[in-house]
Structure 1
Amino acid sequence: MTEIHETVPLIPSLRRVADHLVRNASNADIAAAEGLSASTVHAYLKDIRQHLGVPPRASRAVMVHALLGRGEATAPDPGRSAPALTTDEKLLLRAIATKSRRADIALAARIAPADLPTKTEALLSTAGATDTVHLIGLGHAWSLLAPQGESQLQSTSASSTRPARRNAPPAQPTDRTLATPHHG
């Protein structure tokens, strides 16, 4: 899980890049909007990761969750109310927000890795999100993802009677993504 470090707020230049990131801008879009080189944007994203305490290879969705959870950026206005998500969809939303690797997301969401793309696409469709970064922004805007340190998805933790890892096969050491140690 992403651990959030208590540090000083982002400096203004990093905050501007973070605001673009939360709004799902590509590195090229950020560079153009801020008048920066591609290498400077890359360096700023690295600095933001370090500032947040997220792993170097953390997904943009994980970075956006950390930024929004710490109050380093503001979630975009979704323009609509939150859809009624199932407990399983909320679990997948939380997994996408906190995990970067597909195998870790599937495990945290208690779904088979082979089902992850289909389940993710269904969640994106239900939420009206274009991709996982947009989904995380919407999740925060709708208060479906609590700030870091607070209880996440209380309805999920309250319903611990469902079977663990339903439909998920046991981890196989032959799957490189499961055998490779990684924290994310």
Structure 2
Amino acid sequence: MVALRSDAARNRARILEAARDLANRSETLALNAVAQAAGVGVGTVYRHFTTVEELEETLVWERFDELAEILDSTGPTHLERVLTAHFALLVEDVLFERVTSRANPALEQTTALITELTDRMAKLMDRARAEGALRDDIDAAGVLTLVCGVARAARTADLAAEGPQAQLLLRVVLDGLGTRPT
């Protein structure tokens, strides 16, 4: 990304802060509404984000950083810990769930972040498979899709990520990922 002039950087920060505030209040992220909340013209918003999808993706890049930190601090046998953390992030952040379930991200950086997450999950899953702790007929993209779907179901049912009902839903998925009985 090209370095922004200081006024443009301030405007971008104001736009992101206003959008994050609107999203936290479960309000629609229409670019006009974001401009009004940020106290800038809508043209200023469009100079930084040509679509709502671009804005949404930029807002959740830090979530990918959080998952990377979890993956960095996780041993080779902690697939469940990573999936549980991922589930919690998805339940708590509707934008993160929306972006990660998007078939075609709007921004190249988002595509790169999703690809990196999927590749790192695949490596973690390969280690779990080698230890006999994971079935061999599902890939990382499939597992991430499952966790995303269960998170959406939990959020739709208004379940807290750490609550017993949400944890039961996740447990069913995690148990299903275990090796099949012979």
Name the TM tier (shorter chain).
Answer: 0.3 to 0.5
Greater relative contact order, per chain length (Cα 8 Å cut-off, separation 6+): 1
Greater share of helix residues, 1 or 2?
2
> Highest Rg: 1 or 2?
2
TM value normalised by structure 2: 0.36
